[in-house]
Chain A
Amino acid sequence: MSSQAHPDIPAPLANLKIQHTKIFINNEWHGSVSGKKFPVLNPATEEVICRVEEGDKADVDKAVKAARQAFQIGSPWRTMDASERGRLLNKLADLIERDRLLLATMESLNAGKIFSHAYLFDLEVTIKSLRYIAGWADKIHGQTIPSDGDLFTFTRREPIGVCGQIIPWNGPLVMLIWKLGSALSCGNTVIVKPAEQTPLTALQVASLIKEVGFPPGVVNIVPGYGPTAGAAISSHMDIDKVAFTGSTQVGKLIKEAAGKSNLKRVTLELGGKSPCIVFADADLDSAVEFAHQGVFFHQGQICIAASRLFVEESIYDEFVRKSVERAKKYVLGNPLNSGITQGPQIDKEQHDKILDLIESGKKEGAKLECGGGRWGNKGYFVQPTVFSNVTDEMRIAKEEIFGPVQQIMKFKSLDDVIKRANNTTYGLAAGVFTKDLDKAITISSALQAGVVWVNCYSMISPQCPFGGFKMSGNGREMGECGLYEYTELKTVAIKISQKNS
């Protein structure tokens, strides 16, 4: 995710019409059972874009019935060639590519994303991820196994069944495809609950699902709130797996509900307080830029945010100086407008939380280098903020901020910084900047993080498994092993009259 010059991209779609605002079940559009709707806001203007049907338990039940039906043995989905599943997913990628401008505009409008980022990054990652996943569909192998006894033994990697998927608001389209694509590639059926802040691109994709020709009931989308629709999914007795991306706090509730109900399989992608360690021998300018993008991208609303920056003593002052200079270069405003480089936070709740943490930084004695408060008087904007002289006990060094706030800390020794970096219940990502071979390998082995980047940051690629150690999550998404999280393994052993090797 570099800040290199962008190639020419089209202007956002003018007069974007939101066509899809209903619940999507069995390839059809439904009103909510309760009749309720909820507003969807533009975080740059705080205005209502439209109202969307509000799903609750009754709608989730309807969706589960459809998904279960589509999963029956003998159904079109279950009897479809695996290669055909892959072909449908590739077709979906084709249609997303066709509608790239529409989807990027919608994502920018609803999620507050800088339009060029939405068009170049979110849509690119979405399409590439989908094509990657599509390629796996007919390559999900079981094994034949030389077991003891006169047996012919093999394993099948079957779809798990009906999968509930709860999507966050920070990367609505990318996160939708990571989950939905993986589940479908393995032959499951799904019920998706997009974040209540950002349901629009999910519903647009639903229309493409129908256009591609996935059988009815394979994909169902129920917009709504966490405590209602989300909770209904987590505790549903007829959902076989739940996948959630969001806060650690809510992730715990989901795993608890899954345990209390039917022991549905759980994968979680949660928060982080990811360390970035910069050694004196690093390429300083490169480290400054990667560390900067690592915490400021998408207004800091990324699970991998490099929100604890440990800089070796001898380069500390220079590093702070350059980072502050970099943080001052933003132009805040409506993310759909060209020339804008920082958009709003997603909503009032996040906005207030970030400002509260910034105040705590000031109170607890961190040095405020720039920014430090709200921007403008409409829209949920926060000034890009840099704190230096941060110490490990401060709230800004311990709690996930999810905003455009960078914490820079100093370190002396390698062993010490590893301990400090690992001293958190989170464990999602980490960055290491050094030219030294041994340091790079030793530290990447020592850090308790699911993804370690060396001399770079935020280089997410669909071929690589992604996920957290400790309380940053359970399980992995993407890569080969991410796909296997959407399969259930069956061992079949057939008695034969005489085994030969």
Chain B
Amino acid sequence: MATTNGAVENGQLDGKPPALPCPIRNLEVKFTKIFINNDWHDSKSGKKFATYNPSTLEKICEVEEGDKPDVDKAVVAAQAAFQRGSPWRRLDALSRGQLLHQLADLVERDRTILATLETMDTGKPFLHAFFIDLEACIKTFRYFAGWADKIQGKTIPTDDNVVCFTRHEPIGVCGAITPWNFPLMMLAWKLAPALCCGNTVVLKPAEQTPLTALYLGSLIKEVGFPPGVVNIVPGFGPTVGAAISSHPQINKIAFTGSTEVGKLVKEAASQSNLKRVTLELGGKNPCIICADADLDLAVECAHQGVFFNQGQCCTAASRVFVEEQVYGEFVRRSVEYAKKRPVGDPFDAKTEQGPQIDQKQFDKILELIESGKKEGAKLECGGSAMEDRGLFIKPTVFSDVTDNMRIAKEEIFGPVQTILKFKSLEEVIKRANSTDYGLTAAVFTKNLDKALKLASALESGTVWINCYNAVYTQAPFGGFKMSGNGRELGEYALAEYTEVKTVTIKLDDKSS
């Protein structure tokens, strides 16, 4: 993800920056079928669905449309691959890690292809796909490759004449439903820990963006994961997604998407077989700018924090609280930034903002913008679609926003910055926390005590101090409250993909 200044640095001894990568024009889409047992399958129903390029609104290609019977087929394959005695279950943990390293190598080899596909399918700027999405994907596979043979249980000194130890076993067949905003990266966040811990997987990529997932299927096969370990079923939420959430032979489900759908997933999991659930949902993330902050840094971070990826981030800095004394200056500089943001063809190296993902999102964002105007926020810039440009929306800034406005309460998921004013620290803590969301928060201050106080007081799974979107594979990520259940990344992810078994052996005699 983007760090403070949005760009990834490539240090070079001679000081010259490397040449920028170029997308592959006229890329042929090779993988459009359902991936089960390392084979490509048609849908049982014979149906296909189209995937579109949101920049041009043209159809890219058609993809096999999975439904419940295809999910059932995938689960059968995943279960077989998970049987005791199977190649996957018998593999040394170190070798599982090796396979993940090799997968990372192939993703690196095909980085340009994947970044091009991702840009075609999502509309995100190509250089962002290349340097951020693909970088994170590769690093995530490598990080979890390293954990595979370090998943350790304990031997435990209990009472009585027994020997007691725990095994951290794979859970079994894991379902994963991934979103359209960072398709490949979010897939890696789930696939890597799942495989690292020895599970088998049935994945549903978002219907808007199935292409990079299917390409990854071809790499899974090329690396040599045993058949059935990874299965990919493209399709829609109410069909494939629902089938996964309620499948009685899927032991765990991981979902990233809206809070609304997350609730349905957890409900279905409960009603079926109490499968374990992890959820990464929405956010209405506070960004708190104190008067003593480095203002340039704060402005830039808050800007990238809300506008990055066309505003389509669960971490979007969508409530910027600025301390009274610096409010006017902050607004002025933020508007300047927003007006300069280059919107355009995502394949153009100068572009920072592409189109929104689809018509539904586009309409929702514009509706919320209108509500901002109606409810009395001050429109500083933007506020409408780019003329004649499909799904593109002008970078929009609202100031004088108050807590009860819809734009201050609802997740917008678009290029809309809302700026609010605050007086005291206790006040802003209360206001920042008064939401059902709790994904991330950011604080800009130079003061040690303020920083630590806010870090401790904010009800968020991640708190950034003097930075934004500083997400690293080594550190856990997830939400408080209705922004999610559980954590992804870091060592903490392993707990979500293992099942703990306690073994207690009675002895005739005990020596400690």
Residues of A participating in the B interface, judged by any CB pair closer than 8 Å: 82-83, 86-87, 90, 128, 131-132, 134-139, 141, 152, 437-438, 441-442, 445-446, 462-463, 480, 494, 496-500
Establish whether residues B139 and A90, one from each chain, have CB atoms under 8 Å apart when the complex forms: no
Q: Given the complex, which residues of B lie within 8 Å of A446, measured CB to CB?
A: 511
Cβ B511 vs Cβ A138 within 8 A: no
Taking a contact as CB atoms under 8 Å apart, the answer to whether B163 and A83 are in contact is no
* B311 CB contacts on chain A under 8 angstroms: none
Q: In the assembled complex, which residues on chain A have CB atoms less than 8 Å from the CB atom of B387? A: none
CA distance A463 to B96 in the complex (A): 14
Q: Nearest Cβ distance between residue A446 and chain B, in whole angstroms?
A: 5
Contacts of A437 in B (CB 8 A): 505
Is the pair B452, A152 in contact by a Cβ cutoff of 8 Å? yes
Q: Quick one: which of B96-125 are within 8 Å of A by CB?
A: 97-98, 101
- Which residues from chain A contact B163 at a C-beta distance below 8 Å? 441
Tell me whether A139 and B456 are in contact (CB under 8 A).
no
- B487 in the interface (beta carbon within 8 A): no
Q: Name 6 A/B residue pairs within 8 A (Cβ), A-sorted.
A: A87-B142, A138-B146, A442-B508, A442-B509, A445-B511, A496-B456
Question: Please, how many angstroms separate the alpha-carbon atoms of A156 and B101 in the complex?
Answer: 28
Those of B142-182 within 8 Å (CB) of chain A: 142-143, 145-150, 152, 163
The answer to whether A496 and B453 touch (CB under 8 A), given A86-B146, A438-B508, A442-B509, is: yes
Contacts A83-B142, A135-B146, A496-B453 given; does A128 touch B94 at CB 8 Å: yes
> A284 CA to B41 CA in the complex, in Å?
52
Which among B139, B146, B448, B473 has the highest number of chain A CB atoms within 10 Å? Answer: B146
CA distance A498 to B449 in the complex (A): 9
Q: Report the separation of the CA atoms of residues A500 and B454 in the bound assembly, to the nearest whole angstrom.
A: 11
A95 CA to B505 CA, complexed, in Å: 45
Within 8 Å by CB of B507, from A136, A442, A494, A497, lies: A442
Q: Are A139 and B505 in contact (CB under 8 A)?
A: no
A441–B507 CB distance below 8 A: yes
A87 to B474, CA, bound (A): 14
List A contacts of B145 (CB < 8 A): 135
Q: Which of B152, B456, B491 has the most CB of A within 10 A?
A: B456
B29 at the interface (CB under 8 A from A): no
**B452 to A496, Cβ gap below 8 A?**
yes
Q: Which of B98, B139, B147, B449 contacts A139 (CB 8 A)?
A: B147
- Closest CB-CB distance, B131 to chain A, in whole Å? 16
Ranked 9 nearest A-B pairs via Cβ? A135-B146, A445-B511, A496-B452, A463-B149, A138-B474, A497-B449, A152-B452, A446-B511, A438-B508
Q: 14 other contacts beyond A445-B511, A497-B449, with CB at 8 A cut-off?
A: A82-B474, A83-B142, A86-B142, A131-B97, A132-B94, A132-B149, A135-B97, A135-B149, A136-B146, A139-B474, A139-B491, A441-B507, A496-B452, A496-B453
Q: Which residue of B lies closest to A501 (CB)?
A: B456
B152 touches A480 (CB 8 A): yes
Complexed CA–CA distance, A218 and B142 (Å): 24
- Chain B contacts for A138, CB-based, 8 A: 143, 146, 474
Number of A-B contacts (CB under 8 A): 74
Q: How far is the CB of A80 from chain B (nearest CB, A)?
A: 10
- Whether B93 sits at the interface, judged by CB under 8 Å, is yes
- What residue of chain A has the Cβ atom nearest to residue B508's Cβ? A438
The verdict on B457 contacting chain A, using a C-beta distance below 8 Å, is yes
Contact (A131, B505) CB under 8 Å given A87-B142, A139-B474? no
| Other-chain contact of A141, B139, B148, B452, B491 (Cβ < 8 Å) | B491
Cα(A445)–Cα(B161), bound, Å: 13
Q: A441 touching B150 by the CB < 8 A rule?
A: no
- B509 / chain A contacts, CB cutoff of 8 Å: 438, 442
Give which listed residue, B139, B457, B505, contacts A441 with CB less than 8 A: B505
Q: Is the CB of A83 within 8 A of B139?
A: yes
**Quick check: B93 and A463 within 8 Å, CB to CB?**
yes
Question: In the complex where A83-B139, A497-B449 touch, is A136 in contact with B150 (Cβ < 8 A)?
Answer: yes
Complex interface: chain A residues within 8 A of B507 (CB): 438, 441-442
How far does the alpha carbon of A86 sit from the alpha carbon of B144 in the complex, in Å? Answer: 12
Report whether A442 and B511 are in contact in the complex, using a CB–CB cutoff of 8 Å. yes
Say how far A354's CB is from chain B's closest CB, in angstroms. Answer: 36
A128–B491 Cα distance when bound, in Å, is 22
Closest Cβ of chain A to B208, distance in Å, is: 31
Contacts of B152 in A (CB 8 A): 480
Q: Which residue of A lies closest to B455 (CB)?
A: A152
List the B side residues contacting A152 at CB < 8 Å: 452, 456
Interchain nearest-CB distance for B374 vs A (Å): 39
Chain B nearest CB, measured from A126 CB (Å):
13
Instruction: Report the nearest B residue to A134, measured CB to CB.
Output: B146
The interface residues of chain B lying within 8 Å CB-to-CB of A137 are 146
A128 vs chain B, min Cβ distance (A): 6
Q: Which residue from chain A places its CB closest to the CB of B148 in the assembled complex? A: A135
Contacts of A139 in B (CB 8 A): 146-147, 150, 474, 491
| Complex CA distance for A135 and B494, rounded to whole angstroms | 15
How far is the CB of B412 from the nearest CB of chain A, in Å?
Answer: 31
Q: Which of B97, B148, B457, B474 has the most CB of A within 10 A?
A: B474
Contact A494 B149 (CB under 8 A): no
Complex: how many Å from CA A139 to CA B97?
15
Docked-complex contact B150 and A463, CB < 8 angstroms: yes
CB contacts (< 8 Å) of A135 on chain B: these are 97, 145-150
Tell me if A500 and B457 are in contact (CB < 8 A).
yes
User: In this complex, what residue of A is CB-closest to B149?
Assistant: A463
Task: Bits for B305-328, please: 1 = Cβ < 8 Å to A, else 0.
Answer: 000000000000000000000000
Closest B residue to A463 by CB, please name it: B149
Please report which residues of chain B, range 440-483, place their CB below 8 angstroms from some CB of chain A when the two chains form the complex.
Answer: 448-449, 452-453, 456-457, 473-474
Which chain B residues lie closer than 8 Å to A480 at the CB level?
Answer: 150, 152
A104 CB to nearest chain B CB (Å): 20
Rounded to whole angstroms, the CA-CA distance of A218 and B248 in the bound complex is: 54
Please provide the chain B residues from 65 to 87 with a CB less than 8 Å away from any CB of chain A in the complex: none
- The answer on a CB contact under 8 Å between A494 and B452 is yes
CA distance A393 to B143 in the complex (A): 53
CA–CA, A480 and B146, complex, Å: 12
A136-B146, A441-B505, A496-B453 as given contacts; A83 in contact with B94, CB under 8 Å: no
Contacts of A87 in B (CB 8 A): 142
Complex CA–CA separation, A438 to B505 (angstroms) = 9
Complex Cα–Cα for A441 and B453 (A): 51
